Structure 1
Amino acid sequence: SDNMDKLWQDFKLKNNKLYSSLEEENMRYKIWSDNVNYVKAHNQHADEKGFTLGLHSFCDLSQTEVSKLKFGLKLSSEDKQRLQLMNKTSAKTEPTTSLRVRRKLKLSRSVDWTADGFVSEIKDQGTCGLLGRLNLSDMSIQVHDFSNKSFVSTGALESQLRIKNDDFTTLSEQNLIDCSVSYGNEGCDGGLMSQAFSYVKDNNGINPDSIYQYMGSINRCKFRKSRIAARVLGYVNLPIDEDALMEAVDEIGPIAVGIDADRTSFTLYRGGIYFDPACSSENLNHAVLVVGYGTENGKDYWLIKNSWGKSWGEDGYGRIARNKNNHCGIASLAGYPLLI
């Protein structure tokens, strides 16, 4: 229709979309228009779903492309087995939370670390120089996998620096991408945030972004010993338990987590409290930062910081259902770095 054509032209203009051929443009238009229709259909039932969808800069990519370009966690089969086992055991036994939570001693009713300026600016990991191109070489996918974890790892570190040291330095994701290849982040097998922190620990530090800026591709390691912005003692893994996560967010600060984000409803999320019955608590594929929690109209939620720019979600942030049986695996792979 004329209306769709106008929307399409607006979308291309706003997001600087240039396609290599008419065939590609037609294919992109088809994906984009399917997404427009998906959003419209969902939003007609937004009240009962509890969240709305919307369009953003990368809704001309298929869900397969989004998962290749935008997600950053690849669990090895060992990691998956470990998670399945831990999920089973933690469901059966008493939650592994501290006495504080069990005795219902005072935890804050709600926490929002962004309100006090303790969370760094929303960044956009982009598509690692691949903008919409389909010839995804393995190498670029690997870089991308790791760039997502790098954003979350530096985000967790930046918040700890702000909370503990009143230090507002922005850290270098590129330093992690270029230099931590030997930490299992190359092929991204079991590439968890803890590997990024292990690199920073063994390396005796990480550079600030001001001297080592984000390129969106893997390059030679250019780490400078003379310009250390943060040092790490180690990394604390939390038990698979939402109460433990809540306590950590309240007492420690923003927590790095892995979630299952591989669904169109998450990719196109615009606002509200995200809940999708198909979401897995074991099949984790994307790293985000939990920066708070709260309750709205009787519904508990986690506040997350994503790395897909401000056009996604609520200005780059999202809210995920809390106390809904570890929804999307938000507590399955949670942890934080210990600063020196």
Structure 2
Amino acid sequence: MKVILVVLLVLVSTCSIHCAKDIQEYVDQLLATFDDKLNVLDTNPGFWTHIYGVYRQQYPRAPVSLAAEGRSMLTVEQQRIQAFKANVKYILKHNDNPLSTFKLKINDLTDWTDDELSKLRSKIQTEAPRIAVPPMMMSKQKKTYPSEYDWTNQTRVPGAVRGILNQRHCGSCYAFAMAAALEKTYAELYPNTTDSLSPQQIIDCSTTTNGCEGGSYVGTFSYIRENGYRLNSETDYPYGANGANQTCQKQGGVLLTYNSTYKLNYKQLPTENEETLKQVIYDLGPVYVYYNAGDRKSNDTQILEVSRKFDHYASGVYEAPGCCTSCHMNHAMVIVGYGTENGTDYWKLRNSWGPTWGDNGFIKIKRGVNMCGVATWPYYTGLF
């Protein structure tokens, strides 16, 4: 025990967070010489004090809002520390599994309470899945598609995928996904722009969605259409503190349609048809999808596992065996590409949990198995 404590103290004193690129790498460096990392954590409370202090420097907290809901500041802080410990141990255990196809990491969500994590999930309002392939999605001639494609680094439409945004404490993923799904159209119509479109306008002004309590693709598109196919830029209508609902600041925005021949429209793609999905992504552009991101407050162990892994995804190809493909749809993202990594096919999706989440704000999800419902409710938005 004393030997372990001495070694830890030496490591802490000789290597600060500046030795590593992030808090996960820092913790990995501190524990690199130990075989039983979890035992070291369980028997050295001083280690937790140190790394949580470093973590809070990187991710400052102001938990006043939770205290206002009837809980003391101390209780909230205790919940945060307990969540941090449990999640760090879970991450380390997962990353030690040589059979896993993906890695987890400590991030902004690691000390969030279950209530906060649940608010990240939305009450997604799903429509009936589509079976047939829409005519405009059918390729007129057979062609060979590339084995990988990524709208984040292509040159066909510069700016088709823009900076990663952060929805924070608001179940507004549906609004962020719609703003992201419209970016290719925005780039086509206004090629010299660099800013994003405004999710906050959708949250505040749409009467066909429910603000921070969730929404749907169809409801969100209905608002865009009723607003004259317009949406303000993020610069002109920025995201508010924690994304909370506000009074509608202004309607209107940039025009996102062209003419009667090339009009902003959408098509719901056929359910669980990942070959068609691949073709649409390559031929036409990014696709909006619903997703089962698990639930931290669930009594179902499997649903809880899905949440823990998704919340702390870092790199590799994510898979969660047994994840329901047609239930618990509580998140919306945008597929921006596809490829193969270490023999496993994947979809590349853009999330709205900030650039420090996942792989710079993106996640690779196993392709070809409708992982967590990624191909159950896909929607393409564009000019046609």
TM-score normalised by structure 1 residue count? 0.82
CA displacement at 1:187 relative to structure 2: 8.7
Q: 1:210 to 1:328 in 2, by over 3 A?
A: same
Cα deviation 1:48-98 (Å, max 9, x = unaligned): 110001111121124453122x1234236xx4xx45xx6xxx6xxx99997
Identify the residue that residue 109 of structure 2 maps to in structure 1: 58
Find out whether 1:217 has 2:244 as its counterpart. yes
Q: 1:206 to 1:18 in 2, by over 3 A?
A: closer
Q: 1:96 to 1:156 in 2, by over 3 A?
A: closer
Q: How does 1:61-210 map to 2 (within 5 A)?
A: 61-68=112-119, 70-75=120-125, 79=127, 82-83=128-129, 100=139, 105-116=143-154, 117-127=159-169, 144-145=170-171, 147-163=172-188, 166-168=191-193, 169-180=195-206, 182-185=207-210, 191-204=215-228, 205-210=230-235
Return the letter of the residue paired with 2:238.
Q
Give the aligned CA root-mean-square deviation in angstroms.
2.5
How many residues are matched? 304
Q: 1:307 to 1:243 in 2, by over 3 A?
A: same
Return the letter of the residue paired with 1:66.
L
Identify the residue that residue 273 of structure 1 maps to in structure 2: 317
CA displacement at 1:236 relative to structure 2: 1.2
Q: 1:51 to 1:221 in 2, by over 3 A?
A: same
Q: 1:322 to 1:163 in 2, by over 3 A?
A: farther
Return the letter of the residue paired with 2:174.
K
Q: 1:163 to 1:65 in 2, by over 3 A?
A: same
Cα deviation 1:135-171 (Å, max 9, x = unaligned): xxxxxxxxx22x2111110111012222465353421
Q: 1:170 to 1:18 in 2, by over 3 A?
A: closer
SS in 1 for 2:254: coil
> Is the CA contact (8 Å cut-off) linking 1:280 and 1:328 kept in structure 2?
yes
SS in 2 for 1:199: helix
Find out whether 1:26 has 2:69 as its counterpart. no
CA displacement at 1:17 relative to structure 2: 2.0
Identify the residue that residue 289 of structure 2 maps to in structure 1: 257
Could you say which structure has the larger radius of gyration? 2
Find out whether 1:329 has 2:338 as its counterpart. no
Return the letter of the residue paired with 1:65.
E
Cα deviation 1:232-278 (Å, max 9, x = unaligned): 63221111111121111101111111111111110111110000113
> Is the CA contact (8 Å cut-off) linking 2:212 and 2:244 kept in structure 1?
no
In structure 1, C-alpha distance between the alignment counterparts of 2:280 and 2:201, rounded to whole Å:
27
CA displacement at 1:11 relative to structure 2: 1.0
> Is the CA contact (8 Å cut-off) linking 1:172 and 1:208 kept in structure 2?
yes
In structure 2, C-alpha distance between the alignment counterparts of 1:95 and 1:300, rounded to whole Å:
23
CA displacement at 1:328 relative to structure 2: 1.0
SS in 1 for 2:376: coil
Identify the residue that residue 23 of structure 2 maps to in structure 1: none
In structure 2, C-alpha distance between the alignment counterparts of 1:300 and 1:171, rounded to whole Å:
31
Identify the residue that residue 309 of structure 1 maps to in structure 2: 354
Q: 1:165 to 1:210 in 2, by over 3 A?
A: closer
Task: Compare relative contact order (CA 8 Å, sep 6+) and give the higher one, 1 or 2.
Answer: 1
Q: 1:243 to 1:209 in 2, by over 3 A?
A: same
Identify the residue that residue 54 of structure 2 maps to in structure 1: 10
> Is the CA contact (8 Å cut-off) linking 1:63 and 1:264 kept in structure 2?
no
In structure 2, C-alpha distance between the alignment counterparts of 1:174 and 1:48, rounded to whole Å:
41
SS in 2 for 1:49: coil
Cα deviation 1:290-309 (Å, max 9, x = unaligned): 00000112110000110111
Return the letter of the residue paired with 2:102.
F
Q: 1:209 to 1:293 in 2, by over 3 A?
A: same
In structure 1, C-alpha distance between the alignment counterparts of 2:201 and 2:133, rounded to whole Å:
38
CA displacement at 1:5 relative to structure 2: 1.5
In structure 2, C-alpha distance between the alignment counterparts of 1:195 and 1:328, rounded to whole Å:
23
Q: 1:306 to 1:250 in 2, by over 3 A?
A: same
> Is the CA contact (8 Å cut-off) linking 1:197 and 1:337 kept in structure 2?
no
In structure 1, C-alpha distance between the alignment counterparts of 2:112 and 2:322, rounded to whole Å:
21
Unaligned runs of 5+ in 1: 128-143
